Amino acid sequence: MRELVVETDGLTKRYGDRLAVDRVSMTVMRGEVYGFLGPNGAGKTTTLRMMLGLIRPTAGSASVLGRPAGRPDVTARIGALIEGPGFYPYLSGRDNLRTMARYQGLPNTEVDRVLEMVDLAGRAKDAFKGYSLGMKQRLGVAAAMLGSPDLLVLDEPTNGLDPAGMADMRALVVSLAEAGQTVILSSHILAEVQEICDRVGVINNGRLLRESTVADLRGGATLRVRATPEDAALAVLMRMAGDEGVRRIGNETLEVDLPATATPDVVRQLVTHSIDVHEVAVAERSLEDVFFEMTGNRTNSGQELVS
């Protein structure tokens, strides 16, 4: 049984009449990368702030690393980048990290280590106010990693990064996860979450809609078979996948609950029964498809939620 690192129970935050977070109960296990998904205003950042003790819940509770959220001995073991990096604009990147390291009583060597990790050592002497958004974001991640925390909470860490920077950030999170680091990653880039997260929680309108592994959320792959005559093909495929395993989806196409490895068998059976096979395709639902089905939100690009 893996150790619970975060456990919330009915976590609720109300601002006047507005319910920002509504009875969210979620769990994060040690060593996993947990993706926290939701459209803007869904309640992601508010939930994370409650986990970090930055804001107090109206109701419910959050336990982090086995202790009530917000206690100094708990936050000392968490590294967090919440809703953008907050640093002293007149200080250099290095001095900002030195300041934060001093708060934890850490030596300057720790500053050098995290600067190298986010590839910012070359610009560390520059003033923070002169940094690009991507550099600021990397400095925020560096500050979060000071002291090698047990839990890393990254709220939209790839915001403002160029494609290469995003790839570097993904690689960094993956390498941290491989080293056993527990990470909560809030992101609106669904492909990113699908690629690097073990489990995800989907939140919308303040409520946690689903929490499961990425694979479970996406479901298994299906085959889409366009064949004629359709009725004959349906009969053959039902014998292979069961009555419930085949569905008509129009245009002489059938959706079959069989894995991609069954493709040769499917084609062979259909041809054996003198059925013309026009097309066989593997249909795999992306996390994005699932997400939009659950939240009813879709953007023009179809790739990202509007941030």
| Residues present in the chain in total | 307
Give the residue from 204, 186, 185 showing the smallest Cα distance to 19. 204
Determine if the peptide bond prior to 229 is cis (ω within 30°).
yes
Q: Which is nearer to other proteins, 79 or 201 (CB)?
A: 79
Q: Which is nearer to other proteins, 52 or 190 (CB)?
A: 52
Q: Cβ(24)–Cβ(43) under 8 Å?
A: yes
Minimum CB–partner distance for residue 100 and other proteins (Å): 5
Minimum CB–partner distance for residue 76 and other proteins (Å): 3
Minimum CB–partner distance for residue 83 and other proteins (Å): 8
Q: Which is nearer to other proteins, 24 or 101 (CB)?
A: 101
Q: Which is nearer to other proteins, 83 or 304 (CB)?
A: 83
Rg (CA), the chain: 24
Q: Cβ(206)–Cβ(24) under 8 Å?
A: yes
Minimum CB–partner distance for residue 175 and other proteins (Å): 22
- Residues interacting with other proteins, by CB under 8 A? 49, 52-56, 71-72, 75-80, 82-91, 95, 98-100, 102-105, 140, 143-144, 146-147
Q: What is the DSSP letter of 92?
A: B
Q: Which is nearer to other proteins, 74 or 214 (CB)?
A: 74
Count the helix, strand and coil residues of the chain and give each as a percent rounded to the nearest 5.
40, 30, 30
Burial of 297 (0-12, 13-18, 19+ CB in 10 A): middle
Q: Which is nearer to other proteins, 54 or 260 (CB)?
A: 54
Q: Which is nearer to other proteins, 80 or 217 (CB)?
A: 80
Q: Which is nearer to other proteins, 56 or 247 (CB)?
A: 56
DSSP letter string, 34-72: EEEE--TTSSHHHHHHHHHTSS--SEEEEEETTEETT-H
Q: Cβ(214)–Cβ(200) under 8 Å?
A: yes
Minimum CB–partner distance for residue 91 and other proteins (Å): 6
The one-letter code for the residue type at 8 is T
Minimum CB–partner distance for residue 265 and other proteins (Å): 55
Tokens 């056993």 -> residue = 180
Minimum CB–partner distance for residue 57 and other proteins (Å): 10
Left, alpha or beta for 302 (phi > 0: left; psi -120 to 50: alpha)? Answer: left
User: d(Cα 145, Cα 176) in Å, to the nearest integer?
Assistant: 10
Minimum CB–partner distance for residue 92 and other proteins (Å): 9
